[in-house]
Structure 1
Amino acid sequence: MFDDELSSVSSTSSGSSPTKRRQRPSPLTRRDQIGIDPNELIGKKLIRISRSAAHPSLTLDFDDQTTAQVLVDGYSPRWKGVPKELEMDEAFQRLTNTRSVGLDTLEIVDCAIIKLCDRAFERKQNNDHVRWDQEHAAVAFKFSGENSQWHCVWATLAEHDEHNICTFRSFEDVFLDYVQRSPRKKSWKNSKQNRG
């Protein structure tokens, strides 16, 4: 499994596209690991996928009644800062647009936090551009069946001026975490169903 090729994905302002093929990289290591180990998702079967309209998050529902999310490191709903958005490769984008995975449930056969390097920039008032290479963490998934290629999700930060011209574009790390369900909400739903 680790000898499989991983498509290195580079995010650009015009969209996303694989740029070159390479061996699966070793997992990204960080001193303050947050979220869950991506290996925990291997073997899980995805039944539904959805993006939040209000926040940069991607929700993955599995057939074992668990739910995980791709989240942006450091994002707070109360202190949003520079607008953040999740981006992904075209094939994974199509899958998120359909929301429901369908009859052929997708099993995750590999999952990793990987390192991408993209070109960030800032447009100055005199129209000069400052550009730099920025490394950031992304989540890569590989599914069973027809969708057996690698799929990648990463986060961008972007600001636009009054003419909708991008004046700043950078990148942020993403991570995986489980959604904790509140038992109180479940009991409220159950009591409502029992009354009806």
Structure 2
Amino acid sequence: MDDDSITGSSASSCSSSSPTTLTSTLFGGRKQTVNSRPTRLDPAPDEVDPISLVGKTLVQVRRSPNHPSIALRFSDKSSYQIRVDGYNPQFPGLNKVLEMNAQSHGIFPESGGQTNVNLTVDRCASITMRDKAFDARSSKETSWDQTHLGVVFKFRERDGWHCLWAMLADNDSSTGLCVFRSFEDVYIAQVPARPFNKGHNKRRSRHERQIRV
């Protein structure tokens, strides 16, 4: 099996200059496009190019128990977060959850969890995904195909690709059934070292306030 092909167990080359859309059985039949260039007109101010993680050794992964974010710590003391675009911790809105493919279990923990690893990032990219969203909150249910961005990692020490994306859901309070499902872009942000002065960061932007894990 071609380890650079997204169909089956992996994804097309992250260094490709022309994005390619393929159907992936790994991601439940979703159509994927690996992007070598930014695809959003208005990227978050703290967003970084996923390729900047290539060559780094991941040593710790921590998922926030309160926010849709995952912290990544590397052996060179740098830190990053996987974040949901537009998420504001003061106004969280509908429940937002970071989801992953089965290949990623064991690296990316459940809510509030932490894993210690020793994995070298061989490839990292933004990937366009297409999923079925729906709204059943009224008498007439509607559904549509929605495109959104996920992120994928490939580690030298492990086979296949590891994909994460964000889903929004609204459940009926009486039945518990999901009555609305949608998706959001996810992106990677670098987290600066925090100063010892606790009052230093009192005024922060929407993205800078995002996630303490």
Aligned to 1:179: 191
Given candidates 150, 154, 161, the residue that maps to 1:150 is: 161
TM-score, structure 2 normalization: 0.73
Distance 2:86 2:172 in 1: 24
Aligned to 2:115: 100
Which has the larger share of strand?
A: 1
Aligned to 1:117: 130
Contact kept, 8 Å, 1:68 with 1:179, in 2: the verdict is yes
Report deviation, 1:94. 2.6
1:66-145 to 2 correspondence within 5 Å? 66-97=78-109, 99-102=114-117, 105-126=118-139, 128-145=140-157
Contact kept, 8 Å, 2:30 with 2:131, in 1: the verdict is no
Q: CA RMSD in A?
A: 2.6
Distance 1:62 1:123 in 2: 43
Cα 1:165–1:23 shift into 2, 3 Å: closer
For residues 108-151 of structure 1, give each alpha carbon's deviation from its aligned partner in whole angstroms, at most 9, with x where no partner exists: 0000011000000011343x421100000101111112x23111
Aligned to 1:191: none
Aligned-pair identity in percent equals 38
SS in structure 2 at match of 1:39: helix
Aligned to 1:32: 42
SS in structure 1 at match of 2:180: strand
Cα 1:109–1:22 shift into 2, 3 Å: farther
Which has the larger share of helix?
A: 1
Deviates more, 1:105-114 or 1:23-32: 23-32
Which runs of 5 or more structure 1 residues have no equivalent in the other structure? 10-15, 187-196
Contact kept, 8 Å, 1:108 with 1:143, in 2: the verdict is yes
Report deviation, 1:56. 0.2
Cα 1:8–1:36 shift into 2, 3 Å: farther
Q: What is the count of residue pairs matched by the alignment?
A: 174
Aligned to 2:4: 4
**Which runs of 4 or more aligned residues in structure 1 lie more than 3 Å from their structure 2 counterparts after TM superposition?**
19-24
Which runs of 5 or more structure 2 residues have no equivalent in the other structure? 10-24, 199-213
